[in-house]
Structure 1
Amino acid sequence: MDSRIPGFYKQDVDERRHSVAERANLAADAVAAIEGRGLDPVRADTISENVVGTLEYPLSIATNFRIDGEDRLIPMAVEETSVVAAASYGARMAREHGGFSTQVTGPHMIAQIQAVGVDDPFAAKQRVLDAEDRLVDLANEEDPVLVDHGGGCEAVQARVLDTDRGPMVVTHLVVNVQDAMGGNAVNSMAEALAPEIEALTGGTVQLRILSNLADRRIARARCTVPPEVLADDDWELDGTEVRDRIVDAGAFAGSDPYRAATHNKGIMNGIDAVTTATFNDWRAIEAGAHAYAALDGYAPLSTYEVNAEGDLSCSVELPIQIGTVGGATQLQPVAGAAMEILDVDSADEFAGVLAAVGLAQNLAGLRALVSEGIQHGHMSLHAKNIAIQAGAPSDLVDEVAERLVEEDAIREDRAAELVDELSE
């Protein structure tokens, strides 16, 4: 499959759908799901509570991605056009030098069991650790299917926390969840072990639940971008200056949490859009990413440096808790089609793709920020929305949007005037 589709954004919706279906070799039911309404209210009522209807996002495709030597089309569900455009452009820049390479530590999740009212917390911690083998076996009795597939609880750890409510003994179960997100598996194990932990610690177990700080499930991506790729004929800056400004922007984020929060939001723009398109838990990934960024004082999740060859070296590292089996994806036909387009074979592979998407998004955003400013490209895309809101018919939307940008007057009142003028 070739993810480089020149002029893709110029095609109409039917043409784009055909291009994607052909390249991704989509099954007929996947194409049908994308064409029509994917989630009817009856099915929606089995997924959520107090359902009154459904809300649809645009399903878009980010192009140009080459990840670990393989071309991929990236499905994204997001309400902001600049997210998809930026991801595609970031991927195109990285593509010039081989694309993205990824590395994932493995699909391990942590369940926490909180014991309070422990008289001898440090001795209790040791008793828990001494019972590790038995606790692992008991935990694995809760999910024999996961164990049969090569997963299951692999280790037990214990910590003593000094809190405002006194000392607490917190037991961690480290669970290999294979290709699942893993929430149900680890929560069930934690619930099952609660009586054993009470017996070992002499305390009372209260919370038994997974941690979304999935620091045993780290995904990394990196790419290299030559300076000339960063340049633009319309800018006064050359590629080397753009490169250095990006490095400066990364240093800014590394020294200031106010900037780092927005820097990391740029990464998550891409990751969240893919997880939304595939009906995965973007909230869990958000929580884990920002907690990981805050481990040693809030910091950026990506870094930018100049390598020995003078190229921009880009990397990202964050926890990604994602699944390719279980969860709600199979309940949403469009999400199933998105997974078919994505064509990942494991949760680890999926996590690596998400890391690459986040890095592409961040790279493109920083390039815009340090040169023309983020509003130039963003408002150019936003102008189309303004034209539509002003009542422009489909055959005038592009022309009205172009005029709004030329006049630097991206306002609904001006758009309405242009619609009247051009309709005469």
Structure 2
Amino acid sequence: MKFYQLTPEERRALLTKQGIKLDAIDPATLHQLDQLSENVVGQLRLPVGLVPNLLVNGQRYWVPMATEEPSVVAAANHGANIFSKNGGVTAQSDRQGLDGQIILQSTSDFEPTALRTLFPQLIEQANHEFASLVKYGGGVKRIEMRQKAELIYLKVLVDPAEAMGANKVNSILEFLAIKMEKLPGIKAKLFAILSNYPSQLTTVRVKLMVNTIGGLAVANRIALLSKIGQTDVYRAVTNNKGIMNGVHAALIATGNDSRAVDAACGVLASQSGQYASLSKWYVQGDNLCGELTLPLAIGTVGGSITARSDVRQNYRILGKKITTAELANVIATIGLANNLAALLAISTDGIQKGHMKLQSRNLVANLSATTQEKEQVLQLLTQNREYSQAAAVKFLQQVREKE
């Protein structure tokens, strides 16, 4: 039998025979995971931390973040608390739909006008075939066409309703492509698939009194860093990584596709022809103003969101009735909160000080020591501002010498 045809237990047994030590896992959990992926042999767990005070459009949210980086959750909380002191953020999601692509190869006698006249009929047929999506407010909204030599490029806008919708959109595109490839002047269908081009754009804005971030000098420094990020690719990519720290953690916690968002963000950051920071900060009077636009093709239903109990728990924390637009607003706000915290750190004490203080937990976790000893070592690392594995071992020896 091929590896994928084996049961999870058989796969694990095969690895064990090869001398690979595997951690124990509950059989029921193993079989549940086997339904979610391919060639499953185990699990990888992530802690879920919370941002309990995110104020978006006047509503407070408890936001779950799945990440092993304590500094990411701490930064999101720091930024969120500053936002809250200033009345929170305003956010808006433009969720017209996802773009799908159908590429056809034409013959010499292809008539573009003839195909365009069929668009309303094709849309009607697709929406009839996928009536369940239309029932929830989605469906095919528009078809656009351009031709380059013998290639016909069709862009199909599909509203996925409350789902991320990748599988549904691909099914719709295949349905339409099959209809089109039978038409006169069409030689072949090359492909029909969702595009991850930036769509479902969400914009968040915030206005902060400078005295809540350390004064006008700090605000001006943040604005200068932001300005540099618009022209210097080294600063821009690091700035955007800081944004994605929070965005990724929230996407993973809510069962959404972080890879698709990553790909779209890369394109959006390069829209001007030069890669630039996704966020912008500027001083206006006694206020530091910030804004961020992100492409968030996400959902709140379907796929692993429905299948995973750990993800469903996170939705209970967020609010079971949260809409996809609301979730996009929340995730973009988390990104801006992480961005503010990072820029504040760079503009004041430096980012490494707080980061390493939090990372000291990981250093202590690796020690072969009792819980009480680990707590004492953690305290010594923080007091002495020494953040290395060697320092952790040194302080553990000191603790034991005193016992």
Q: TM-score, normalised by structure 1?
A: 0.83
Q: Percent identity?
A: 33
* CA apart distance, 1:147: 0.9
In the alignment, what sits opposite 2:22?
none
Structure 2 residues not aligned, in runs of 5+: 1-24
Distance (whole Å) between structure 2 residues aligned to residue 200 and residue 269 of structure 1: 50
- For 2:304, which of 328, 333, 336 is the aligned residue? 328
Matched residues in 2 for 1:382 and 1:77: separation?
16
| Residues 281-340 of structure 1, C-alpha deviations (whole Å, 9 max, x = no match) | 111111111122222222221111112x32110111011011111110121111100011
Residues 39-50 of structure 1 aligned to structure 2 (within 5 Å):
40-50=29-39
Return structure 1 stretches of 4+ with deviation > 6 angstroms: 36-39
Q: Is 1:108 matched with 2:108?
A: no
User: Which residue of 412, 420, 423 corresponds with 2:389?
Assistant: 412
DSSP-derived class of the 1:409 partner: coil
1:143 to 118, 122, 130: 130
In the alignment, what sits opposite 2:174?
A: 191
- Identify the residue that residue 129 of structure 1 maps to in structure 2: 116
- 1:71 CA displacement: 1.0
Q: 2:141: which partner in 1? A: 154
SS in structure 1 opposite 2:86?
coil
1:34-183 matches, cutoff 5 A = 40-119=29-108, 123-124=111-112, 126-161=113-148, 168-183=151-166
Q: Following superposition of structure 1 onto structure 2, how do residues 155-304 of structure 1 map, counting pairs within 5 Å?
A: 155-161=142-148, 168-198=151-181, 199=183, 202-215=186-199, 217-231=200-214, 239-297=215-273, 298-304=275-281
2: CA distance between counterparts of 1:91 and 1:321?
23
Q: Which residue of 1 aligns with 2:364?
A: 387
When structure 1 is superposed on structure 2, of 332-341 and 60-69 the one drifting more is 60-69
SS in 1 for 2:52: strand
1:351 aligns with 2:328: yes
**Residue 156 of structure 1: CA displacement?**
0.6
| Aligned twin of 1:3 | none
Note the alpha carbon deviations across 1:95-133, whole angstroms, 9 max, x for none: 111111110112511111011355478x53x44333220
Answer with 341-350 or 90-99: which moved more. Answer: 341-350
Indicate the RMSD between aligned Cα atoms, in angstroms: 2.1
- How far apart are 1:403 and its partner, in Å? 2.2
Contact 2:106 2:185 in 1 (8 A): no
Code of the aligned partner of 2:174 = E
- Give 1:182 shift: 1.0
Report the secondary structure of 1:252's partner residue: helix
Report if aligned partners of 1:116, 1:205 keep a CA contact under 8 Å in 2: yes
Distance 1:391 1:142 in 2: 61
Q: CA deviation at 1:367?
A: 0.8
1:127–1:201 contact (8 Å) kept in structure 2: no
8 A Cα contact 1:39 1:54, kept in partner: no
TM-aligned CA deviation for residue 257 of structure 1: 2.0
Q: Which whole-Å CA distance do the structure 1 matches of 2:263 and 2:120 have between them?
A: 31
Length, aligned pairs only: 374
Identify unmatched segments of 5+ residues in structure 1: 1-35, 232-238
State the distance in 1 between where 2:244 and 2:27 align.
25
| Counterpart position of 1:373 | 350
Structure 2 CA distance, aligned partners of 1:182 and 1:360?
A: 28
Q: Which amino acid aligns with 1:394?
A: T
Give distance in 2, aligned partners of 1:83 and 1:209: 34
Q: Does the Cα contact within 8 Å between 1:65 and 1:91 map onto a contact in 2?
A: yes
TM-score (norm 2): 0.88
| Aligned AA (1:179) | E
CA contact 1:72–1:342 (8 Å) conserved in 2: yes
Counterpart residue type for residue 362 of structure 2: N
